[in-house]
A and B are shown apart, each in its own frame.
Chain A
């Protein structure tokens, strides 16, 4: 029987990240992992999350993997790259949240400089999800990292202008996030491009749902986005990012289950998103990172 290979009319944009060590994501002209169709020049990449403060909410099984390094973002980032082979580091400026330590943009900038010094892989920098504070902190930090070609987030439909302008002037890429809504995702990308921001510096985030917490819904939106992008919709033909680690470790199963539950949850969530076409997976546990990297390798080489 003849095997039908889908031919797509368009390609996903290729986003280049980093200054010292450069990584490219996206550029697909087909669906990942389908033999004969997956002309994907860049495999999916795994980023590991590093916080600017010790993450008190993390369960012990997650914290224990990093030991004392959790107290120093520079050491923590270095450990993720050297020991756990993270492709990118995702620095979360959690302490800047007004309900947390409410640290200033300047303090966040110092942490960012420290992390930049410690590693050479590309950096993702995200705020604390407090919109007003994020605008202040991220604008400052984007300038600190000028020329480093980082990926900054997170722009939403209600709050994208400040971050877009900051990324534009400092030459960073941007994460555009929609609440699992493909129509809003497209609209936000148009709004960002209307500010003269280049479309090939946008990475889409469809608010990640972990296994058991909306994974199927997010998966289907991500798959639709990828198919729309490959079919010629320029405002959806961007690479995608997913925060599989963060969402998995938020679940009650990960927090209260036996030792390995959270790790397995993270692996299951991450590998599902790999199949939806995700280009960057932001992960937490080193064991989950190891397994996901093996999966990427197995999928791309098809076990050969």
Chain B
């Protein structure tokens, strides 16, 4: 499982404060903590309230680079912020994200090619998020075709079926699971699959968020999920991830399998 740590996001108060006050220590700590908990890459999002997103992205990426050379997922909807972020990365970056809008695909697959970046493709377009798996697959297919058109290795595409909060869009969870399963049939070699996991529990009571996240993660792994953007510091979530992968035979069993995974 390729794990992208979600914590460096301006939607979190501590990160917003760090950006505002240029407090590097908060960002350094978050980067190193997520890596020690098992992150393979770090998501970087300046947050919706940022007054100067370009400046904030540059500061965040440079600040993270002071303590690690891990891959970064540049998470923004703004093209100029995306390109600035990608240009600052030395390790292979990840574009978070493209969707099935023609214009978006043209721009972002072009950037993926230019910066040799992996790319997360959201199964949505101008009309929004389809209500069922068939609609999501149609958009996924568009992105796969576009990926090929731009000469990008299909295994660099991470399809995100887009999970919605269970408290407002309950029927979506099983449609997302079906999309994860079916995405593997779109091409050979197949595109990868990813989830922005925490969205599933957005708005649910704080008491249940972690439980909902880890339950859905186990279900998604059983359906073949390759990657996830999640709260890597949630110990129970990570234990579930490791155990689900063990049951899918991604790791050899031993009595200390949790420790063994974390030694990697």
Contact = CB atoms under 8 A, between A and B. Distances in A.
A183 interface: yes
A162 to B, nearest CB: 20
Contacts of A168: none
A190 B252 contact: no
Interface stretch (B9-17, B212-220, B256-264): B256-264
B263 A184 contact: no
B256 A236 contact: no
Contact of B252 (A182, A191, A193): A182
Given A232-B264, A234-B264, A190 B253 contact: no
B254 interface: yes
B264 A186 contact: no
B251 interface: yes
A228 interface: yes
Contact of A228 (B252, B263, B264): B252
Contacts of A186: 252-254, 260
Contacts of A190: 254, 256, 259-260, 263
A159 interface: no
* Interface SS of chain A: helix
Contacts of B263: 190, 193, 234-235
A183 B251 CA distance: 10
A191 B263 CA distance: 12
B255 interface: yes
Interface residues of A, number: 14
A187 B252 contact: no
Contacts of B256: 187, 190-191
A186 B255 CA distance: 9
A160 to B, nearest CB: 14
Contacts of B255: 183, 187
Given A190-B259, A234-B264, A235-B263, A184 B252 contact: no
A235 B263 CA distance: 8
Interface string A222-252: 0000001000111110000000000000000
A187 B254 contact: yes
A191 B259 CA distance: 10
A28 B81 CA distance: 43
A121 B187 CA distance: 55
Contacts of B260: 186, 190, 233-235
Contacts of A228: 252
Contacts of B253: 183, 186
Contacts of A235: 254, 260, 263
Contacts of A182: 252
Contacts of A193: 263
Interface string A188-224: 0011010000000000000000000000000000000
A230 to B, nearest CB: 13
Contacts of A236: 252
Contacts of B259: 190
A5 to B, nearest CB: 16
A2 B255 CA distance: 42
Interface in B26-83: none
A183 B264 contact: no
Nearest to A232: B264
Contacts of B252: 182-183, 186, 228, 233, 236
A3 B49 CA distance: 54
Contacts of A187: 254-256
B184 to A, nearest CB: 20
B261 to A, nearest CB: 10
Interface string B217-261: 000000000000000000000000000000000011111100110
A211 B264 CA distance: 36
B243 to A, nearest CB: 15
A232 B260 CA distance: 11
A191 B254 CA distance: 11
14 contacts: A182-B252, A183-B252, A183-B255, A184-B254, A186-B253, A187-B254, A187-B256, A190-B259, A190-B263, A232-B264, A233-B251, A234-B263, A235-B260, A236-B252
Given A183-B253, A236-B252, 11 more contacts: A183-B252, A183-B254, A186-B253, A187-B254, A190-B254, A191-B256, A233-B252, A233-B260, A234-B263, A234-B264, A235-B260
**Nearest 8 Cβ contacts at the A-B interface:** A186-B254, A187-B254, A190-B256, A183-B254, A187-B255, A183-B253, A235-B260, A234-B263
